[in-house]
């Protein structure tokens, strides 16, 4: 017999048992009018585990009419940008989970693995307050007023005649009539670590090449800064000889837009997946083993960077119920707490209560400068740790590891169960009455060779865990991996944040509705509320079931007179109503008390055996 049928699945017997117990409870209050509404809200709170995609592609923007028609577009602040998928996913989840009308759900949370996660530095996006040096008198300035510029730790511009070397040498200058080439120079960081380093690059206009140098002259990062911008006209091919352009140098003020963690994906001119520099060159954060699955609570040593500093969440193993309830990178499902506040703090690390103004950025939680000779940035507050988008999309391995954590079994076919579900089934009095769900919020397909469809199916078939998939910014295409991870009505393709919020609200609504459906179905709509209550009150079988499952459904046990002892030799009696033509049992034809001849649903967790259930 499968583990689901033996212990944990939402089987017909389990559903009926909880529903019968609820009916019997109503039977003691027949005079209270329509109690069906009580039944609809009396089922135990569902379990919902949220797995959030933190892969590098979450730095891009979802498809947005007019600004990102293709989807997966580069945005100026990367994952710190309100237009990015990670920012919007955190924002949408926060909005839905903090809604007072959400309903009662017990949550868990996890994200993708990021071993040795480290942030080397941050960058700042600025805008020029006024015009710089006139390239064409009165009409073309460099920089132009309002032009974006990146400042902070410098990196290599590149070399060669291809796109990877645009703007880096006089032989491959950035054309001012090419928006991508201009943007590449604007993304090249100026100023250095402490705003003291001059940076030089090359531009071209109407066949003439210019050498441009930004030299810091005042201010510090985070506030208004000024730079002296020098533009020299190259008078030979190698630009070894130059002439000064009128109006050069110009002192230009820059006003801050925001700090951000830089991330890029290569010299790709057009969306989708456009960019300007390689990840190795331009990424402020680094990590490893991002294809290994979700980030577990058992790899605290691997989480540390090369200097021993840890940006992942501290592991709290103080719960006396065991490792299944350790809180760390994974927030476990728990019947004693809904963990909503803990998850809100993962989404917005500054969360401290309902009055919090959430901050979904990343860079703002890090110090501006390194400490001493360290090669990485520390957090401003160790209690505020942001999610960082980097690495691959290990959907299959993440679902596989969730299943292993949930059941204590990594094989396809499991015998005795362990893990979280074993502890929950024995400690959670309402376990059999709860629905169990996995919600995956991702922006793309499997990239690590895993098999997510296999493991979502095993979760459903073996343990009754239903998977919802939210494919944020993904175009629905037949045959993609996402389409086989969940049933059609459990798969959503929101294009933007507003659709994402609506879909998440719809999912939470369905989860709450599904969790209470079995209780509603227990009351026949053809019976009046009063008749239904009286019928329940008169039914000894229902009251016996209520007593047997009271603890399992979280319902106070009903008092009644001691039941007659059932003789072991009594055969099971069918519970179906006898037809009008069937002969009645002769008076005195059986010495077995009538009450014992009525079969009552029974589960091992009730403390009774199937044999005893059969002879009642």
Q: pLDDT tens, 154-211?
A: 999 999 999 999 999 999 999 999 999 999 999 999 999 999 999 999 999 999 999 9
SS3 328: coil
d(CA 142, CA 134) in angstroms, rounded, equals 6
CB of 233 closer than 8 Å to CB of 212: no
DSSP code of residue 7: I
Is 605 in contact with 552 (CB distance < 8 Å)?
yes
Q: What is the helix (H) or strand (E) element at residue 208, kind and residue range? A: strand 208-218
Is the pLDDT confidence value at 505 over 50? Answer: yes
**pLDDT value at residue 336:** 96
Q: How far is Cα 79 from Cα 362, in angstroms, rounded to an integer?
A: 8
Instruction: Indicate the range of 15-19, 286-290, 569-573 predicted with least confidence.
Output: 569-573
Confidence of residue 542 (pLDDT cuts 50, 70, 90): very low
Q: pLDDT tens digit string along 86-145? A: 999 999 999 999 999 998 999 999 999 999 999 999 999 999 999 999 999 989 999 999
Torsion of CA 341, 347, 349, 353, to 10 degrees: -30
Is pLDDT above 60 for 518?
A: no
Mean pLDDT to the nearest integer, 355-378: 97
Burial class (CB in 10 A: 0-12, 13-18, 19+), 28: middle
Please report the pLDDT score of residue 408 as a whole number.
95
- DSSP lists the bridge partners of residue 214 as 199, 229
Inter-residue contact 343 to 50 (CB < 8 Å): yes
Separation CA 516–CA 523 (nearest Å): 12
pLDDT at residue 9, rounded to an integer: 44
Best CA proximity match to 349, nearest among 81, 90, 41, 23: 90
Q: Which two structure tokens, joined as six digits, stand for 176?
A: 């001012």
What predicted TM-score, i.e. pTM, was given to this entire model? 0.81
Q: Which of 556, 558, 541 is nearest to 600 (CA)?
A: 541
3-state secondary structure (DSSP) of residue 214: strand
- Calculate ∠ Cα 208-214-215, nearest 5°: 140
Q: Are 86 and 59 in contact (CB under 8 A)?
A: yes
The total of other beta-carbon atoms located within 10 Å of residue 514's CB is: 15
Scan for tokens 């990239």, then name that residue: 447
* Residue 480, pLDDT above cutoff 80: yes
Whether the ω angle into residue 249 lies within 30 degrees of 0, i.e. cis, is yes
Q: Please tell me the predicted confidence (pLDDT) of residue 39.
A: 43
pLDDT score, position 66: 87
Interhelix angle 395-407/452-463, rounded to 10 degrees, is 20
Query: 543 near 27, Cβ under 8 Å?
Result: yes
Asked whether the predicted pLDDT for residue 278 surpasses 70, the reply is yes
């Amino acid at each position: 017999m499968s583990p689901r049928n033996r212990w944990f699945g939402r089987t017909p017997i389990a559903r009926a048992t909880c529903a019968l117990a609820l009916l019997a409870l109503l039977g003691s209050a027949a005079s209270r009018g329509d109690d069906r509404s009580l039944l609809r809200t009396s089922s135990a709170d569902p379990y919902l585990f949220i797995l959030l995609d933190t892969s590098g592609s979450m730095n891009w923007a979802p498809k947005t009419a007019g600004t990102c028609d293709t989807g997966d577009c580069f945005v100026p602040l990367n994952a710190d940008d309100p237009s990015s998928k990670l920012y919007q996913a955190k924002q949408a989840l926060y909005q839905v989970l903090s809604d007072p009308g959400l309903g009662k759900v017990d949550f868990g949370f996890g994200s993708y693995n990021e071993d040795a996660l480290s942030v080397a530095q941050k960058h700042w996006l600025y805008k020029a307050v006024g015009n710089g040096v006139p390239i064409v008198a009165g009409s073309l300035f460099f920089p132009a007023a309002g032009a974006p510029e990146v400042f902070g730790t410098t990196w290599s511009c590149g070399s060669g005649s291809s796109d990877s070397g645009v703007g880096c040498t006089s032989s491959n200058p950035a054309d001012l009539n090419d928006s991508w080439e201009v943007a590449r120079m604007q993304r090249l960081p100026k100023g250095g670590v402490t705003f003291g380093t001059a940076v030089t690059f090359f531009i071209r206009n109407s066949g003439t090449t210019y050498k441009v140098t930004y030299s810091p002259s005042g201010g510090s990062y985070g506030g208004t800064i000024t730079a002296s911008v020098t533009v020299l006209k190259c008078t030979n091919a190698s630009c070894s000889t130059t002439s000064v352009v009128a109006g050069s140098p110009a002192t230009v003020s820059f006003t801050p837009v925001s700090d951000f963690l830089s991330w890029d994906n290569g010299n790709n001119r057009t969306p989708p997946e456009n960019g300007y520099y390689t990840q190795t060159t331009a990424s402020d954060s680094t990590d490893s083993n991002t294809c290994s699955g979700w980030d577990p609570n058992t790899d605290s040593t691997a989480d540390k960077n090369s200097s021993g500093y840890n940006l992942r969440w501290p592991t709290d193993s103080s719960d006396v119920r065991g490792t299944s309830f350790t809180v760390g990178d994974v927030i476990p499902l728990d019947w004693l707490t809904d963990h909503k506040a803990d998850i809100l703090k993962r989404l917005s690390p500054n969360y401290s209560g309902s009055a919090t103004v959430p901050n979904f950025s990343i860079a703002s939680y890090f110090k501006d400068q390194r400490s001493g000779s360290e090669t990485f940035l520390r957090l401003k507050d160790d209690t505020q740790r942001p999610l960082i988008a980097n690495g691959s999309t290990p959907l299959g391995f993440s679902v596989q590891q969730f299943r292993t954590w949930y059941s204590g079994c990594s094989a396809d076919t499991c015998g005795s169960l362990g893990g979280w579900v074993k502890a929950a089934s024995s400690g959670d009095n309402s376990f059999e009455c709860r629905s169990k769900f996995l919600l995956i919020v991702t922006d793309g397909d499997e990239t690590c060779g895993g098999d997510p469809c296999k493991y979502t199916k095993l979760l459903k078939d073996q343990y009754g865990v239903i998977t919802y998939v939210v494919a944020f910014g993904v175009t629905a295409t037949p045959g993609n991996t996402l389409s086989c991870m969940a049933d059609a009505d459990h798969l959503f393709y929101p294009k933007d944040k507003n659709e994402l919020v609506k879909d998440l609200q719809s999912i939470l609504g369905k989860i709450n509705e599904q969790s209470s459906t079995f209780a509603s179905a227990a009351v026949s709509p053809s019976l009046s509320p009063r008749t239904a209550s009286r019928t329940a009150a008169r039914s000894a079988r229902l009251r016996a079931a209520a007593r047997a499952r009271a603890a399992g459904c979280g319902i106070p046990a009903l008092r009644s007179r001691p039941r007659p002892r059932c003789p072991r030799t009594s055969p099971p009696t069918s519970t179906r109503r006898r037809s009008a033509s069937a002969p009645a049992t002769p008076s005195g034809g059986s010495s077995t008390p009538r009450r014992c001849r009525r079969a009552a649903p029974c589960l091992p967790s009730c403390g009774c055996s199937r044999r005893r259930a059969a002879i009642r």
